[in-house]
Amino acid sequence: MSGRVARLGLYLTVALVLSYVESLIPFSPGIPGIKPGLPNLAVVLLLYGAQGDAAAGGVRDAALVNLLRIVLAGFLFGSLYSILYALAGAVCSLFVMCLFRRLPVFSIAGVSVLGGVAHNIGQFAVALFVTETAYLWYYLPFLIAAGTVAGMLVGVIAMAAAPHLQKAGGRSV
Amino acid sequence: MGHRADSGRREARSPFRWHRADTVLIVCCLAFSAALIGFLALRGRSMAGQGGADLVLFHEKNEIGRFALEQGQEQEQYILITYTAQGAYVQAADNRPSVPDDRPYNLLYLADGQVTMVAADCPDLICVHHLPIASPGESIICLPHKLTAAIEGGGKSEALEELDGVVR
């Protein structure tokens, strides 16, 4: 129990720091909703149980850390709007990643790509609901491409980090 | 050949190793979005060629203003949108107006057939960081203020419906 608290606390810290780093990067490609999504590194690693034991892959852990990260980062670096959008994206993303994690088709990178695309489609759906304008459809292809690239980035980093996490912490990390 | 496929499948069990399916997935996603972007760009260009484009402003779902865009001419215009509990107000000016400090606002700038959001007091400033828009179908949307600034051209509604159908 206390081990789990410590572990999740660490992951939450990493996710929050990455949120902060991301808010510092002056990255505005001119199309709204596009960012690297670095904090999802922590979520993806948690989803895969980080210790490499896929059976222990913690959907609950990933969901909990992501929720806390979104609320905390929203109040620290964002606004209520950004919390709403982030939540919508996170729910879609986690759902899709859970689904595809069970299939032996994709690696953590492929699952992360699907998560990134799902995240952006979730946010897109909320924006469509809020604005009710057909003009939004114009953004969809850009958001799909951005989700793919961001998901790949996070997936590749997770792929590189996972063996080290396994080695360093064994079962307790 | 059969042996290779088999070993590939065994390797696919490790989630921390790159799979061929990952590459296929990424290429498919990028190709799909690139095709859609290309389609939209061609559409916008052909519509822009069909004559004058308009900048249309919507607050929530209501049209609150319409301005003709003059391509290549020396058009310079500022459009200030302010919001009160009663609704949104649109003012056009030739010189940059001062922005209000007692109520929310968005300030648009029209020049050379391009529209830019130059100032706003929304929390995220996503609309201000947006690229300039010029072709029919493009838009700048300020979600916190529920403002949509969109370019419309000849046959616009038809094209958007068609796009709707394609994306769905």
CATH number of the domain to which A166 belongs: 1.10.1760
Chain A residues whose CB is inside 8 A of the B21 CB are: 105-107, 110
CA-based nearest residue in chain B for residue A143: B33
Selecting from A127, A141, A159 the residue whose C-beta is nearest the C-beta of B143 gives A127
Model confidence at B110, in pLDDT bands (50, 70, 90)?
very high
Selecting from A108, A142, A145 the residue whose C-beta is nearest the C-beta of B15 gives A108
Model confidence at A173, in pLDDT bands (50, 70, 90)?
very low
Residue A153 structural domain = 2-27+36-172
Distance CA B91, CA B93 (A): 7
CA-based nearest residue in chain A for residue B13: A104
Distance CA B60, CA A131 (A): 6
Q: Is the pLDDT of residue B91 over 50?
A: yes
| Interior angle at CA B140, CA A22 and CA B121, nearest 5 | 65
**Model confidence pLDDT, tens digit, residues A19-51:** 899 888 876 677 777 888 899 999 999 998 754
Model confidence at B163, in pLDDT bands (50, 70, 90)?
low
Side by side, the strands of the sheet bearing B76-84 are B87-93, B76-84, B105-111, B114-120
Count of domains for chain A: 1
